[in-house]
Every structure is written in C-alpha cells, then in structure tokens.
Structure 1
Amino acid sequence: MEMENGNQMSEQVPTSRSSVVANVQEMVRRSTSYVPENYITNQDDRPNCSPVSSDVPVIDLSLLDGRNEEELKKLDLACKHWGFFQVTNHGVAEEILNNMKDTTSSFFKLPFEDKKKKLEYWPTNPPKLKDAIETYSSEVNRVAKSLLGHLSLSMGMEKEALLAMHKEVMQSLRVNYYPTCSMPDRVLGASLHSDTSSITILMQDDDITGLHIRHDGGAVTNKTTARISSASFIMPYHDVEIEPLDQMVDPQNPLKIYKKIKYGDYLKESLKEKLEGKAHTMKAKLETV
C-alpha cells in the first residue's frame, strides 16, 4: 500500500525475489506448513549463518553528540568493517517506538478486505496510524541527520558536509510484515543485498530473530512468530550528483573507480536488477575499470 511521502506498508511472503504478495497472511492462515516452491531459496543462495549478534558494533549517539573521540573511532571502524551498527541513546522516546510498533501491527491484523482498500494517501484504520508514522519518521529524520554529521567527521570533513551534499534529505519508510514460515532455514525474507540509500535506519521487533548481516563472508523468516520491521531510507534528492569524495581517493593513486552520476539515475538503474549483494554499484563503475 503506497502512502504519503514515500511511505509503504507491505505484507511479504518470504522470497529470494523480494516480491510483494497482497494476500500473504491469507495464504498462511489457510496453511501454516505449505510454502510455494518458487519461494524456496537455492542452497547456494542461502547465507552461512553464525550467531554474531553480540559482536555487532554498538554506537552511543549521546557520546557522539558530546564529541567523544573514542566513540567516533568506533563509528569509523563499524562502517569500515561491518557497514552496520546498533544505535543506543538516540533520544527517540520509548512511547513513540511502541506506538509505531503497535499501530502498524494493528494494521496488519485487519481483515484482508480492509487492508486491500486503496485510498489516495493514508488508510483510515487504524485511526492513529498516520500520526504514529509521522511522529516516528520525524524522530528518525533527526537521528539520521545527526549520524550523517558524525559520519562526515569520521571521514575528515566538516560536520555539515554530507548533509549539504544531499541538498535536502529525502526519507522513505517501508514497513514489512514477515509471516511465520515452516521452513525458516530454506526461505529468505529478502535476498542478500545492500541498500541504495545513504543510510538505512531499521527498527524491528526486539525479541524476534530475522535479520542477517553479512560479515567476513558469512535471521531469516521465523518459524513460530511473525515479524514486523520498519526501514527508513535516507537519501539525497534525485538530481544530486554523486561521485567518490576527494577525501576517499588515495592521493598516491588518484584513479577513480566510480563515475559521477545523478542519484535518481543511479537509483533507477539499480531497481532494474535483482537485489543481489552490491551488484547495483556496478551501474556507477567506470567502464575502463
């Protein structure tokens, strides 16, 4: 269901193709054990899973805002070696987070006939859905801008550098519902991929495994409990030109691997291909490299 300001809510059957199926909950309600053959992932495409959740870097945003140099170094290492980190002390009130979780959960619990109704912008049920999403999105926007500032500092630039490059931050929200699955080891909610946004801020259920992070070469759908995740994609305007930053190019070997390209064109080209690792970055590589 398309929503205002790029917001989306979707029910997803776990699939390596990341396709959206409108009646996913109805299919699961009819049979909790049946999984269509085309949703079973090839053995070679399944991630090699190991319990590394305790090793994922944890970044304290309040320390970053206090200009703590050690925390800034942790952020730099997290980006270089993981490309992923958890954020604590972000300042988003627990009430706002819980309200977002509760109202989106209520939406997905609605009868199928109610959920498939398309309005111009927002569903009227649950009645507080619009307010919950707008309040949550406003807080995520604040956190995103703070992170962009600290990322700028970690790369040796002025704090406002990355934010200025965006012209004005665009933000898109996608709320996904992943049903229970009788074959969690054989089915993926989404194929292995890297997002095309500048950064993605993800909120998911605290006590339900499902998210996989690829690290050093090596949780999917859950067998007993459905999962909801809210992904906020932070990106520049479509006409912003993106290219390697001078600070990131080795002065001893100034050859650039990627070309200058408008973000909108880069995004458009990446969406034409199947989500697969970092394959979308090939669209921006120079042909001579």
Structure 2
Amino acid sequence: MRFGLQVLNHGIDDGLIAEVMAVAREFFRLPAEEKAKLYSDDPTRKIRLSTSFNVRKETVHNWRDYLRLHCHPLDQFVPDWPSNPPDFKETISSYCREVRALGFRLYAAISESLGLEASYMEQTLGEQEQHMAVNFYPPCPEPELTYGLPAHTDPNALTILLMDQDVAGLQVLHAGRWVAVNPRPGALVVNIGDQLQALSNGQYRSVWHRAVVNSDRERLSVASFLCPCSGVVLGPARKLVTDETPAVYRSYTYDEYYKKFWSRNLDQEHCLELFRT
C-alpha cells in the first residue's frame, strides 16, 4: 500500500490553514537581508533558511528556498524561530500542535490495518521529533532544466503536506508514471515515509514524489515531518515476520539511517536498499 493521498475531514481548522499559508508567504516576501540572517547550509542546524536540498553535495541545484524549523518540544525551539512576521511564531506553533495530533491518529489507523495494537507505531517510534520545511518555489525562467525537488522518498516516518491551493507542483509516481497532485481546498497530503515502510515489513511503501516548477507563478508548501527518536531501534514488527514473509530489512537506529540519507544525493536509489537483510 502506498500513500500520497489528499485527506479531507482531518480536523484542522480551515482558518488556521489559511493563516499558515499567509504567514509563510509573508516571511518569504521579507527583504533578502532580513532572511539572510537565518541562512545556513549545515543540515544539522535545527533552524535555518537554505536552498536546494543539500548544496554541499549537489552538482545541479534545485529551484527552491526553504525555512527548516524543529518543532518538538515547542518551548525549546520556538524562541529561536523568526520574529518577523510578528504572528509567525503563534500561527506556526498552533499548526504544529494540530499536525502532531493528526499524525498520531494516523499511526493508530495504520497500526490496526496491519493487525497490530493501535499504539504500536507511536510507541515503537519513541519520543518523536517533529520538524517542518516551509518551501518557496519562485518562478523559474527555464523550468524544464530543473526541479523544485527531484524524485525522492522521505526518510522519516510520516509527512503531512499543506499545499498552495492556487498552484500545482507536486507529482507522485504511480504505476510507473508521474501523476500531478492537483490541490483540493482544505486538503492535506499524507505521505508514508521510509520508516513506516520498514516497520510494516514493506506492506506500506514510502511514496516517490517530486516538485516541479513553472515559469510564471511562485508556489508555497508546508511539509510537516514526524520522525523517530534518533536512538530508537527500527525494523519490521515481529508479528509481521513469518516463514512466508521473512524480514525485508535489518534492524538499525534512526540516527544511522538519517546520516546515510544526508550523505547521498536526493535522487539516488532508495536509501532503504542499504538496510535490506
């Protein structure tokens, strides 16, 4: 099973969603010198403004700027978030709380669909980190020469994506071809990440996706990532490993996985291939 679906009736207020997109757009319209104070190309930085994906590794950069925010626990990270726009911290904090609660509800549903206890995924993933990428894709004069983000799967457990309602750009790989995900009002896109593929012993599959750009319109998206505790040991759930369905992946820590992921280019083969049994 693969996720890359737009989800309605998710319980997050439409007004809050509109405020998140508005304050994100306002941030990227700040003067360049104001935003430059947050710039870093160090992927270990908890709060940073950067561009492309991994500018230290790439030979061809992607057409994207993004603000990376760590979000849990909020009281630890929010003081260092941008103070401009003035309502940025309050609006994004409210959204982070709602997204985290939604993610845990989705974990319960996924666990039960696999015949596991409802609490299995949440408990196995440990005291989860949460972070966010506020993505800005400017108009590109030659969009056929680059991507906003090339094809990849997400290294975390679960991604909840808020898309610009007016401009499409997300594509997912389905049955061997790239399919545009046209935004629906009020919807959120839910993507399974690599860690749920491993825990489900391959029954759930992380979603290959990419972002394309266009020549005349900017686009925004807000990706929220739920991530395992860095030291937690991951691997297929014991109940899902049988003589007929042996373990597909070996055990590893999320810290080990994440370091491997960031040492590569984004569009290389699936990072989970490095952890097969």
Q: Secondary structure of the residue that 2:112 maps to in structure 1?
A: helix
Q: Which amino acid aligns with 2:92?
A: I
4+ residue runs of structure 1 moved beyond 4 angstroms?
Answer: none
Q: Would the aligned equivalents of 1:266 and 1:283 in 2 still touch at CA under 8 Å?
A: no
Residues 277 and 150 (structure 1 numbering): CA distance in 2 closer, same or farther, change over 3 Å?
farther
1:236 aligns with 2:228: yes
Q: Which amino acid aligns with 2:226?
A: I
Q: Distance in 1 between matches of 2:269 and 2:92?
A: 30
Q: Distance in 1 between matches of 2:268 and 2:144?
A: 19
Q: Tell me by how many angstroms 1:181 deviates.
A: 1.3
Q: Would the aligned equivalents of 1:209 and 1:222 in 2 still touch at CA under 8 Å?
A: no
Q: Secondary structure of the residue that 2:95 maps to in structure 1?
A: helix
Alignment partner of 1:88 out of 4, 8, 12: 8
Give the total of aligned pairs. Answer: 205
Which residue is 1:71 aligned to?
none
Q: Tell me by how many angstroms 1:207 deviates.
A: 2.0
The structure in which a higher percent of residues are strand is 2
Q: Would the aligned equivalents of 1:173 and 1:233 in 2 still touch at CA under 8 Å?
A: yes
Q: Which amino acid aligns with 1:148?
A: Y
Structure 2 unmatched runs, 5+: 39-46, 48-78, 178-210
Q: Tell me by how many angstroms 1:278 deviates.
A: 4.8
Q: Would the aligned equivalents of 1:194 and 1:277 in 2 still touch at CA under 8 Å?
A: no
Q: Secondary structure of the residue that 1:208 maps to in structure 2?
A: coil
- Cα-Cα RMSD: 1.7
The 5 Å alignment of 1:193-272 reads: 193-218=152-177, 220-254=212-246, 256-272=247-263
Q: Tell me by how many angstroms 1:186 deviates.
A: 3.1
Q: Tell me by how many angstroms 1:195 deviates.
A: 0.3
Which residue is 1:100 aligned to?
20
Which residue is 2:121 aligned to?
162
Deviations along 1:147-197, whole A, 9 cap, x unmatched? 001000111111111111112222111111101113333321111100011
Q: Secondary structure of the residue that 1:172 maps to in structure 2?
A: strand
Which residue is 2:139 aligned to?
180
Q: Distance in 1 between matches of 2:17 and 2:223?
A: 13
1:115 aligns with 2:47: no
Q: Tell me by how many angstroms 1:206 deviates.
A: 1.3
Q: Which amino acid aligns with 2:34?
A: D
Q: Tell me by how many angstroms 1:198 deviates.
A: 0.6
Q: Tell me by how many angstroms 1:277 deviates.
A: 5.8
Q: Tell me by how many angstroms 1:283 deviates.
A: 2.5
Structure 1 unmatched runs, 5+: 1-79
Residues 117 and 156 (structure 1 numbering): CA distance in 2 closer, same or farther, change over 3 Å?
same
Stretch moving more, 269-278 or 150-159: 269-278
Q: Secondary structure of the residue that 1:209 maps to in structure 2?
A: coil
Q: Distance in 1 between matches of 2:268 and 2:4?
A: 14
Q: What's the TM-score, normalizing by structure 1? A: 0.67
Larger Rg: 1
Q: Which amino acid aligns with 2:143?
A: P
Q: Distance in 1 between matches of 2:136 and 2:100?
A: 22
The 5 Å alignment of 1:27-66 reads: none
The percentage of counterpart residues that share the same residue type is 32
Q: Distance in 2 between matches of 1:128 and 1:88?
A: 26
Stretch moving more, 222-231 or 116-125: 116-125
Q: Tell me by how many angstroms 1:249 deviates.
A: 2.9
Q: Secondary structure of the residue that 1:97 maps to in structure 2?
A: helix
The structure in which a higher percent of residues are helix is 1
